[in-house]
A = this chain, B = another copy of it.
């Protein structure tokens, strides 16, 4: 089937948000989605975007029963390795069930990585999601948790608030531009 991968625009945010919710339903975690399409528009399509996004689009004649022509997305950000340089972090990759099997992998995040001279494409997979894990490993991905022992850590909510408060008390001031 013919399809096109292109950079998302502000106008795609309703569709992207729809697919974010579809992915969350699949993961049985819809109640965890706290954003909205307006938030996506603000955070991804203003001067200093917090993310980039690709969408997969099919021609009108292949639209879904509901009339959708956007059938997949890959949301990513640039990160940086202090040893190797430019990297891409892929946060989400989703293709609507009826369109799966059309894509090799990564919804072309890997093409972005190469074009932007990035040396790494990083992402996270749940260890119980065996189909995904097997898929990526078969494509040549390394599992850095099992091979090198890297663990994913996170501060959020109250722990992040407390940390920031302590840091501000200690440093007294912070001068910076973004």
Which residue numbers of A lie inside 8 Å of B, CB to CB?
Answer: 3-7, 20, 23-24, 29, 32-35, 39, 43-44, 50-52, 54, 75, 77-87, 89, 91-92, 103-106, 108, 110-114, 116, 119-128, 133, 136, 139-146, 148-164, 166-168, 170-171, 173-178
Residue among B75, B105, B142 making CB contact with A167, cutoff 8 Å: B105
A-B contact pairs, 23 of them (CB 8 A): A4-B173, A5-B171, A7-B176, A20-B82, A20-B83, A29-B83, A33-B82, A34-B84, A51-B78, A51-B79, A77-B77, A77-B89, A105-B166, A106-B155, A108-B167, A111-B168, A114-B161, A119-B156, A121-B155, A123-B154, A127-B149, A139-B155, A151-B152
